[in-house]
Amino acid sequence: MAPVWTNWSGGQQCRLTATVRPLDDSGVSAVVRRAAERGQTVRPVGAGHSFSALTVTDGVHVDLSAFRGVTASGGDPARPTVRVRAGTTLGELHDELATRGLALDAPLELAAPTVGGALAVGMHGSGPSRGSLSAAVARLRLVDGRGRLRDVAAADLDAARTSLGALGVVLEAELAVVPAGRVRVTREPRPVEEVLRSDFWSAHPVVEAAVFPSASTALTRWADPLTDAADDEDDGEEEAGERSLGVTVAGATGRTALGGAVVVERALPRLVPRFNRAVSRLARTVSASGPMHRVLSSPPAVRYEQTEWALPRAGLAAAARELLAALADDHLEVGLPVRLRVGAPESGWLHPAHDRATAWVAVRVPRHTDHGPVLERAWRVLRAHGGRPHWASRSDWTVEDTVAAYPRYPDFCRVRDDYDPDRVFTTPPLAAVLGD
Ligand SMILES: Cc1cc2nc3c(=O)[nH]c(=O)nc-3n(C[C@H](O)[C@H](O)[C@H](O)COP(=O)(O)OP(=O)(O)OC[C@H]3O[C@@H](n4cnc5c(N)ncnc54)[C@H](O)[C@@H]3O)c2cc1C
């Protein structure tokens, strides 16, 4: 019987011809060639953490879980680099970098996604001048649509660093990394109006906020680097900080609260708005220190569907106000707070933050609740504010939108014609946003 695949949220499913787990580069080439000969499509698959249908196919999944680990480190001591295999999870990458005294510049908090998947969709954290994982790519090696092993030419790198898996199966990436350091992360309730001012977003290198539609208080989180002296003082506090995170209602931008909201939602939906307002009021300040990937880490308390859009940063306040009002006015209770983040302009031709300082706005709805009306309302507002959706999130985006919103799309198409002329990697969901 054909294997059935389901993504993390449970919202995407497909019946595959096969899942193949090659053990080396020539095995990946063989899978692509064989599928092409049989007229089957091929989709590389990572941890399945995308909410969109990017990996949905009735063809072949290439699972790179045998391609794990950091294979080399080097570069200038002031600009270190590592080579990492694409099936490595971000959690494994953080740990391997830490043993070398290194870290990612991108403040990525989730351990499960793979390097290949995170690059393909442009996975990002939040900081006014922080890029995504894709921004760190210095070189890429992949197997293209004809089964050829290729080192991506420098001229094609901005197509390949965020490619939606349309150019080939990435095997290995060389990434720019930074010396490891410690940070102090602070979680604090702040008035929503303060969070919507631009100075809130420039005060810390890593900063984000989460807002329930019916609340006047936002749950915020930021991280600042620790000096050596402060670092010594903080030793021992980290544990206390992390313990207090367990009981604070703010949790990881409201993570503890989120679980509660969902429980309330299932039991008594009409209590949710009141509960959400109370959560925001009761939240208190907590802090913890340690390596960035550890103090930011916040495994999700519940499974949910998500739409996240990249907007011009200057439009964040207007878009967020309109979105929060629309959700409240339409009585569309989201169950989870709307998440606000920021990022630097990206060079990747298809990165949603391409060429503009960006604000990210994410609307999340617990699975098993009726997410359709909430997501559709969010799409309407965020599209009208010049948003481009995160490729991994749910949206109604079309190829016409891509053509209009991405000035380098024609260049991407030229590279795609070279790497996958026969469209071995193109499924209907991919064609819907990238064209045939
Ligand atoms: C709980 C949760 C939290 C999240 N938080 C964030 C967040 O903070 N920031 C953010 O930006 N996103 C976030 N996301 C979305 C997430 O970043 C992406 O879904 C994730 O990076 C994809 O990685 P994956 O390994 O799961 O890839 P998959 O979802 O399996 O695949 C995603 C895409 O990558 C392609 N791909 C996978 N491997 C390769 C490869 N080797 N070569 C070429 N293409 C490949 C696939 O074909 C597909 O197009 C979150 C998702 C969840 C479920």
Domains of the chain as residue ranges with CATH: 70-179 (3.30.465.10), 182-389 (3.40.462.10)
CB of 110 shorter than 6 A to ligand 1? yes
CA of 118 to the centre of ligand 1 (A): 5
CB of 213 shorter than 6 A to ligand 1? no
Pocket test for ligand 1, best of 8, 28, 32, 50 (most atoms within 8 A of CB): 50
Q: Which atom of ligand 1 is nearest to the CA of 300?
A: 1
CA of 191 to the centre of ligand 1 (A): 32
CB of 392 shorter than 6 A to ligand 1? yes
Pocket test for ligand 1, best of 13, 104, 123 (most atoms within 8 A of CB): 123
Report how far Cα 294 is from the mean position of its chain's Cα atoms: 17
CA of 114 to the centre of ligand 1 (A): 7
User: Which amino acid is residue 429, in one-letter code?
Assistant: P
CB of 164 shorter than 6 A to ligand 1? yes
Nearest CA to ligand 1 atom 19: 50
Q: Which atom of ligand 1 is nearest to the CA of 8?
A: 53
CB of 48 shorter than 6 A to ligand 1? yes
Pocket test for ligand 1, best of 45, 221, 390 (most atoms within 8 A of CB): 45
CB of 170 shorter than 6 A to ligand 1? yes
CB of 113 shorter than 6 A to ligand 1? yes
CA of 410 to the centre of ligand 1 (A): 24
pLDDT tens, N- to C-terminus, the chain (436 residues): 778 999 999 999 999 999 999 999 999 999 999 999 999 999 999 999 999 999 999 999 999 999 999 999 998 888 999 999 999 999 999 999 999 999 999 999 999 999 999 999 999 999 999 999 999 999 999 999 999 999 999 999 999 999 999 999 999 999 999 999 999 999 999 999 999 999 999 999 999 999 999 889 999 999 999 986 555 445 333 333 333 222 233 333 334 344 344 444 444 445 555 555 566 555 667 899 999 999 998 888 889 999 999 999 999 999 999 999 999 988 887 788 999 999 999 999 999 999 999 999 999 999 888 889 999 999 999 999 999 999 999 999 999 999 999 999 999 999 999 999 999 999 999 999 999 9
Q: Which atom of ligand 1 is nearest to the CA of 109?
A: 8
CB of 169 shorter than 6 A to ligand 1? yes
CB of 46 shorter than 6 A to ligand 1? yes
Nearest CA to ligand 1 atom 36: 117
CA of 121 to the centre of ligand 1 (A): 6
CA of 113 to the centre of ligand 1 (A): 6
CB of 301 shorter than 6 A to ligand 1? no
Q: According to the model, what pLDDT value does residue 258 have?
A: 41
CB of 44 shorter than 6 A to ligand 1? yes
Pocket test for ligand 1, best of 60, 90, 121, 341 (most atoms within 8 A of CB): 121
CA of 112 to the centre of ligand 1 (A): 9
CB of 97 shorter than 6 A to ligand 1? no
- Phi, psi (rounded to 5 degrees) for 234: -80, -15
CA of 86 to the centre of ligand 1 (A): 12
